[in-house]
Amino acid sequence: MQDLAGKHIVLGLTGGVACYKSAELCRLLVKAGATVQVAMTEAATRFITPTTLQALSGRPVFTSQWDAREPNAMPHINLGREADAVVLAPASADFIARLAQGRCDELLSLLCLARPRERVPLLVAPAMNREMWSHPATQRNLAQVQADGAIMLGVGHGEQACGETGDGRMLEPAELFEDIVAHFQPKVLAGQHVLVTAGPTFEALDPIRGITNHSSGKMGFAIARAAREAGAEVTLVAGPVSQPTPRGVRRIDVVSAQDMLAAAVAWAQAATVFIATAAVADWRPAARSGHKIKKDGSGRPPALDFVENPDILLTVAQGERARGGRLFCVGFAAESENLVEHARAKRERKGIPLLVGNIGPLTFGQDHNSLLLVDAGGVRELPRAPKLVLARELVAEIATRLPAASLP
Ligand code: CTP
């Protein structure tokens, strides 16, 4: 996916061992369609060579304000003016201190200070030892840099190159990349709290076995990511799936439909939008055996009784109506045929404003899908595309349908 097509990023490296991760970040940005201009401090060139970054970005790297390649001899002005964003990764403690003071005695700090602030955001990915990170001077400088308009991408926690463990390591390239992509998405859900259910549920028969379905959770996770990119606070109630948690999303893992119902009802209190993508098991075993059900030698399978699971979407939507609340509920329908008919009937049965239909066997486990949006006004198709693209389109559609009163 060319998530950054047409974007020009200045990638600034300062001195730190995390410079090796910036090579991968540069590659991810280029693969996503961005043009990348790398600028390095002298200290950064001690950790990784400009040649590596030139090869990956396809452009000569700038390391000095005295670089004669720019006809007007002003690389610090030109580089910042051309950019859609300046990304500092890694940003060392010293460089952050110098940003906080507005010092600019070399190219990268010069271009940060000289960039047109209202048009070119500064995204900062700090990297340092945990003691340096937690030092009051660093925290003071970080607060100042943020107050001056920079966007802090945060740090990771874990083992550090120095052998110590704690906060301060640079985020992984894939995490930084996700944050940079999110930065460019329109904030159509700013101020909203979106609750998403995703994945299958698992209904245990005994400690070993149970019934479930083929839902991978990909669509629900893509929607959670798209809602977060659009500026919402997002809570994702996930059945048993192996998807990575989207950046900045609160994930609540559940197993059974009853667990999912309890989590959804609790989080719906604070939510303004509820998107039910989960493929909830319709039935569960009436009783769960405390031990593995063994063959009894008769050759006959055990007699199993099932009871219907609660309908999570219906319960939340009805509860909301009873409270006179404003939660905007969106359902999904996985069908195998007659999609429009079933989707229309399901929307009315569940009493919700928007229902999204898809063909189950064409979506489960796939990276692509197509969606059918059914509301009171009619039917609209979102043609086959990667799930994240569809998720962003769906989020934009939901934003246009929210009552004006629920907008911040
Ligand atoms: N859903 C739910 N709880 C259930 C069943 C479904 O929250 N116990 C939600 C799904 O997350 C989805 C919508 O209801 O948003 C429709 O799910 P689907 O399984 O397609 O429909 P059902 O209501 O189960 O109806 P049917 O069995 O007739 O297809």
pLDDT in tens, 159-169: 999 999 999 99
Indicate whether residue 311 lines ligand 1 (CB < 6 A): yes
Indicate whether residue 282 lines ligand 1 (CB < 6 A): yes
Q: Give me ligand 1 centre to Cα 8, in Å.
A: 44
Tens digits of residue pLDDT in 192-213: 999 999 999 999 999 999 999 9
Query: Which pLDDT score is estimated for 329?
Result: 97
pLDDT-derived band of residue 363, with 50, 70 and 90 as boundaries?
Answer: confident
pLDDT-derived band of residue 361, with 50, 70 and 90 as boundaries?
Answer: confident
Query: Which pLDDT score is estimated for 327?
Result: 96
Query: Measuring from atom 16 of ligand 1, which residue has the nearest CA?
Result: 333
User: What is the rounded distance in angstroms from the CA atom of residue 70 to the CA atom of residue 107?
Assistant: 13
Q: Give me ligand 1 centre to Cα 278, in Å.
A: 8
Q: For a substitution probing ligand 1, which of 311, 329, 339, 359 has the most ligand atoms within 8 Å of its CB?
A: 311
Indicate whether residue 173 lines ligand 1 (CB < 6 A): no
Residues with Cβ within 8 Å of 322's Cβ and at least 6 positions away in sequence, in order, are none
User: What is the rounded distance in angstroms from the CA atom of residue 18 to the CA atom of residue 132?
Assistant: 15
pLDDT-derived band of residue 4, with 50, 70 and 90 as boundaries?
Answer: very high
Query: Which pLDDT score is estimated for 239?
Result: 98
User: What's the mean pLDDT in 292-302?
Assistant: 93
Q: 8-183 — its CATH code? A: 3.40.50.1950
Q: Give me ligand 1 centre to Cα 161, in Å.
A: 49
User: What's the mean pLDDT in 13-33?
Assistant: 98
How would you write 66-94 as a 3-class SS string? Answer: CCCCCCCCCHHHHHHHHCCEEEEEEECHH
Residue 351: pLDDT over 90:
yes
Indicate whether residue 274 lines ligand 1 (CB < 6 A): no
Report the nearest atom of ligand 1 relative to the CA of 257.
Answer: 8
User: What's the mean pLDDT in 5-19?
Assistant: 98
Topology match between the domains 8-183 and 193-406:
yes
User: What's the mean pLDDT in 105-112?
Assistant: 97
Q: Give me ligand 1 centre to Cα 359, in Å.
A: 13
Query: Which pLDDT score is estimated for 109?
Result: 98
Residue 162 appears among annotated catalytic residues: yes
User: What is the rounded distance in angstroms from the CA atom of residue 379 to the CA atom of residue 360?
Assistant: 18
Reported pTM: 0.93
Q: Where are the domains of the chain?
A: 8-183, 193-406
Residue 388: pLDDT over 60:
yes
Tens digits of residue pLDDT in 41-66: 999 999 999 999 999 999 999 999 99
Q: Give me ligand 1 centre to Cα 386, in Å.
A: 23
Indicate whether residue 34 lines ligand 1 (CB < 6 A): no
Query: Which pLDDT score is estimated for 225?
Result: 98
Indicate whether residue 181 lines ligand 1 (CB < 6 A): no
User: Could you count the other beta carbons within 10 Å of the beta carbon of residue 164?
Assistant: 11
| Cross-strand bridge partners of residue 378 | 375
Indicate whether residue 333 lines ligand 1 (CB < 6 A): yes
User: What's the mean pLDDT in 82-109?
Assistant: 97
Report the nearest atom of ligand 1 relative to the CA of 264.
Answer: 7
Please name the residue ranges forming H helices in 126-243. Answer: 130-134, 136-147, 173-183, 218-229
Residue where the block lists tokens 């059918």: 372
Q: Give me ligand 1 centre to Cα 279, in Å.
A: 7
Contact between 199 and 241 under an 8 Å Cβ cutoff? The reply is yes
Q: 193-406 — its CATH code? A: 3.40.50.10300
Indicate whether residue 276 lines ligand 1 (CB < 6 A): yes
User: What's the mean pLDDT in 320-345?
Assistant: 92
Residue 128: pLDDT over 80:
yes
Q: Which pair of tokens denotes residue 372?
A: 């059918």
User: What's the mean pLDDT in 310-325?
Assistant: 94
User: What is the rounded distance in angstroms from the CA atom of residue 380 to the CA atom of residue 13?
Assistant: 46
- The catalytically annotated residue of 104, 112, 162, 329 is 162
Query: Measuring from atom 4 of ligand 1, which residue has the nearest CA?
Result: 311
